[in-house]
């Protein structure tokens, strides 16, 4: 076999190993997600059984998958599971001349060289193998897949992070975050209180997510002259709080959210799900529903209005109560005046997507005069004047959101809105003479 064949066989073997590792990781992640889902279902069943024993007929909201955990904590829990099963290890090593540590340091040096191409290789070798530096490595089996090299300054109580990287095949899986949290926990046990590092533009975002800030509060006299200045780098700091358990964030987050959720449940019934309205399941039912018949409305503190807040001023009649018939007759009169107005032309029909492709991407709740007319004709949609006015106001606001102020469409909207407001305010009598009808 010549060198080309050997090289091809080696690449095929490496590709197969990578495929197997990725398949194994995907299987383990799926298994963990199933376990999390099973636990949440068990918790939900326990809660429902408890409510049943107490005579409660209401259904509680089930927590969605990851609702009390979140994607960050889920990744941390998955990595923690790998640690417990022995598939993943975090080991602090340094150049102590032992064969195994030297092998791991050489492997880590190779990862830094590939992932940090702008850093001189000689400089990486010198710092990784320097006996004053330590490295926290991630091991899958006996293979190094990432790590952090840092230099501790014990008398000054801080550490300087030199390099941090994870091999490209294992990125975007939460290893970098878990790695940093492990390092924080380890360095706390060694008496360090702060980390300092010079981050390039590509690394500032990562360090910011790990709790590093550009504001340096650590005493200047403790670090100036001890760490190397880098041109083009951003100095960042992270304080190591003894009150935080950095390697157990998922449990901390879970407890905090459970505590907040418990307080919310004590103060409100927002977690309770009431039976839905059966009328929507049968499209043949056209009968309107009274507000007081909607489950949960009365429990929320709603009370019916004892008397209308306004009277309608009808020509030749005078002030009258806004009964259903009189209210819809009044809305028809106002609508007819609006649609016949000279500035109504942009609003009569819906905006055509073929002519304005991005309109419905920007305007999420469109409305137009033809639809408003249909709702008036049904005599069931607008149960009060405020709903009718709200649809027209939304139509004008949509126009101003999408179009520039100097366009003829916005000018039409402003003039038509002023006409509508005058029409309403001149035809409505408010109980409080000093208050105008809000439209």
Q: pLDDT tens digits for 389-435?
A: 999 999 999 999 999 999 999 999 999 999 999 998 888 887 544 44
The contacts of residue 132 (CB under 8 Å, 6+ apart) are 151
Query: At 319, which helix (H) or strand (E)?
Result: strand 318-320
**Token pair listed for 307:** 């008397």
Q: What is the pLDDT of residues 220-263, one digit of tens each?
A: 999 988 887 777 789 999 999 888 888 777 778 888 888 998 99
Can you give the pLDDT at residue 313?
Answer: 80
> Is 323's pLDDT higher than 70?
yes
- Contact (CB, 8 A) for 404 and 410: yes
Beta strands 194-199; 158-166: pairing state: parallel
Can you give the pLDDT at residue 273?
Answer: 85
Number of neighbours of residue 244 by Cβ within 10 angstroms: 16
Number of neighbours of residue 236 by Cβ within 10 angstroms: 22
DSSP 62-78: PPPTTTTTHHHHHHHHH
Size (the chain), residues:
439
Residues acting as catalytic residues: 160
Can you give the pLDDT at residue 316?
Answer: 73
> Any idea what the Cα angle at residue 291 is, between residues 335 and 392, rounded to 5°?
20
Helix extents (H) in 247-384? 249-267, 324-339, 359-362, 369-378
Can you give the pLDDT at residue 1?
Answer: 44
Q: How far apart are CA 367 and CA 183, in angstroms?
A: 56
Instruction: Name the 3-class secondary structure at 129.
Output: coil
- Contact (CB, 8 A) for 399 and 409: yes
Gap between the terminal Cα atoms of the chain: 86
121-128 helix and 99-115 helix, angle to the nearest 10 degrees: 150
Q: What is the pLDDT of residues 29-43, one digit of tens each?
A: 455 455 545 555 554
Can you give the pLDDT at residue 71?
Answer: 67
pTM above 0.75, yes or no: no
Q: What is the pLDDT of residues 110-165, one digit of tens each?
A: 999 999 988 899 999 999 999 999 999 999 989 999 999 999 999 999 999 999 99
> Is 69's pLDDT higher than 70?
no
Instruction: Specify whether the backbone of 113 is left (phi greater than 0), alpha (psi in -120 to 50) or beta.
Output: alpha
| Least confident piece of the model among 222-236, 298-312, 327-341, 397-411 | 298-312
Beta bridge partners of 198: 235
Q: How far apart are CA 111 and CA 409, in angstroms?
A: 60
- Contact (CB, 8 A) for 238 and 212: yes
DSSP 20-55: HHHHHHHHHHHHHHHHHHHHHHHHHHHHHHHHHHTT
Q: How far apart are CA 382 and CA 412, in angstroms?
A: 25
Q: Which has more confidence, 183 or 242? A: 183
């Amino acid at each position: 076999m010549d060198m080309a064949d050997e090289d091809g066989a080696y690449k095929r073997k490496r590709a197969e190993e990578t495929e197997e590792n990725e398949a194994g990781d995907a299987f383990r992640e799926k298994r963990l997600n199933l376990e999390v889902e099973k636990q949440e279902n068990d918790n939900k069943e326990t809660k429902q059984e408890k409510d049943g024993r107490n005579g409660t007929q209401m259904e509680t909201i089930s927590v969605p998958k990851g609702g009390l955990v979140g994607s960050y904590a889920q990744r941390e829990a998955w990595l923690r599971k790998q640690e417990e099963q022995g598939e993943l290890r975090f080991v602090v090593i340094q150049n102590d001349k032992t064969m195994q540590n030297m092998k791991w340091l050489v492997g880590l040096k190779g990862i830094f060289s590939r992932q940090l191409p702008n850093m001189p290789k000689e400089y990486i070798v010198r710092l990784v193998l320097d006996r004053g530096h330590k490295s926290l490595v991630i091991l899958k089996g006996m293979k190094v897949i990432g790590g952090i090299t840092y230099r501790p300054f014990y008398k000054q109580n801080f550490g300087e992070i030199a390099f941090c990287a994870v091999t490209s095949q294992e990125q975007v899986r939460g290893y970098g975050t878990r790695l940093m949290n492990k390092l924080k926990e380890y360095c706390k046990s060694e008496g360090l209180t702060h980390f300092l590092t010079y981050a390039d533009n590509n690394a500032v975002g990562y360090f910011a997510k790990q709790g590093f800030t550009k504001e340096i509060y650590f005493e200047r006299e403790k670090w100036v002259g001890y760490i190397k200045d880098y041109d083009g780098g951003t100095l960042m700091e992270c304080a190591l709080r003894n009150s935080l358990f950095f390697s157990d964030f998922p449990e901390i987050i879970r407890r905090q959210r459970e505590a907040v959720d418990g307080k919310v449940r004590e103060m409100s019934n927002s977690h309770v799900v009431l039976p839905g309205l059966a009328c929507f399941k049968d499209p043949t039912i056209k009968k309107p529903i009274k507000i007081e018949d909607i489950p949960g409305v009365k429990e929320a503190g709603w009370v019916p209005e004892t008397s209308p807040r306004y009277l309608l001023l009808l020509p030749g009649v005078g002030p009258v109560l806004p009964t259903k018939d009189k209210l819809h007759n009044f809305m028809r009169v106002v609508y007819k005046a609006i649609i016949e107005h000279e500035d109504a032309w942009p609003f009569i029909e819906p905006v055509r997507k073929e002519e304005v492709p991005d309109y419905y991407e920007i305007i999420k709740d469109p409305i137009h005069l033809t639809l408003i007319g249909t709702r008036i004709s049904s005599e069931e949609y607008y149960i009060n004047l405020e709903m009718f006015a709200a649809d027209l106001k939304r139509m004008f606001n949509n126009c101003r959101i999408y179009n520039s102020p100097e366009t003829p469409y916005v000018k039409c909207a402003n003039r038509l809105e002023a006409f509508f407001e005058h029409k309403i305010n001149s035809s409505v009598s408010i109980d409080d003479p000093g208050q105008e009808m809000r439209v």
